Structure formats: structure tokens, C-alpha cells
């Protein structure tokens, strides 16, 4: 009993669990990850409107983010890894397409 500590709080939100379990900084980092992902996913959907997979991933991961604010979907041991895997795939696609765009339009050469 001497080192048992206090009884942990129970909460049904991954976002608020980050606040009291880690720190407000962890919740802020989660918001940064969420906003960055959504920005890049929207950009991929606009740049490639013919590719349906980007819109599907955006819809699924948006539901995961919403479920993380009101539930524990990204922390779930069954379906949580699938959400993180989709986020990683979309980030890789965004980086690959950004790199292809940079190689296709080279910067103007300096005049000599």
C-alpha cells in the first residue's frame, strides 16, 4: 500500500487521456499530427481526383480522428494499428508525389 499510488481516472476519449495521462503537450502534438495529415490528405485528393483510394483513406482516417476525440479508436488494439498504417501510407504517398513534382519542375538555373 505504501507505493500503490492513487487510483487512475477512467476516461472514454483518447484525446483527453493524452492530456491527463501524458501532458497537454501530448494532446497538442496529436492535434498537430491530425491537422498535418488532414491537410496533406485533402491536397492529395484535390491533386489526384481520379484516384479513389485517397478519398477512401481520408474518410476512414477522419473517422478514426473523430473517434479518438469521442472514444478510443486509435488506441484500440484491434483496429487502431490499421488507422496508423493508413496514415503512414498516405504520408509516404504525399512525400513521393511531392518529390516527383519537384523533379519535374527544376528550379531556374542561375545566370552566369
Q: What pLDDT does 42 receive?
A: 93
CA distance 18 to 32: 14
Give me the tens of pLDDT residue by residue for the chain, a chain 112 residues long: 566 666 666 667 888 888 888 888 988 999 999 999 999 999 999 999 998 999 999 999 999 998 888 887 877 888 888 988 999 999 899 889 888 877 776 654 455 5
Tell whether 108 is covered by a domain: no
**Three-state SS at 45:** helix
DSSP 74: T
Tell whether 27 is covered by a domain: no
Query: What is the pTM assigned to this prediction?
Result: 0.73
To the nearest 5 percent, what fractions of the chain are helix, strand and coil? Answer: 70, 0, 30
Tell whether 82 is covered by a domain: yes
Tell whether 61 is covered by a domain: yes
Tell whether 51 is covered by a domain: yes
CA distance 21 to 11: 10
Quote the number of domains for the chain. Answer: 1
What's the domain range around 65? 34-96
Tell whether 16 is covered by a domain: no
Amino acid at each position: 500500500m505504501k507505493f500503490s499510488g492513487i487510483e487512475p481516472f477512467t476516461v472514454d476519449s483518447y484525446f483527453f487521456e493524452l492530456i491527463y495521462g501524458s501532458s497537454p503537450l501530448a494532446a497538442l502534438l496529436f492535434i498537430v499530427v491530425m491537422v498535418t495529415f488532414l491537410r496533406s490528405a485533402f491536397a492529395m485528393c484535390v491533386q489526384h481526383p481520379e484516384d479513389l483510394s485517397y478519398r477512401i483513406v481520408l474518410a476512414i482516417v477522419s473517422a478514426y480522428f473523430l473517434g479518438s476525440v469521442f472514444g478510443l479508436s486509435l488506441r484500440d488494439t484491434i483496429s487502431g494499428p490499421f488507422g496508423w498504417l493508413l496514415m503512414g501510407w498516405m504520408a509516404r504517398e504525399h512525400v513521393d508525389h511531392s518529390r516527383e513534382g519537384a523533379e519535374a519542375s527544376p528550379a531556374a538555373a542561375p545566370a552566369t
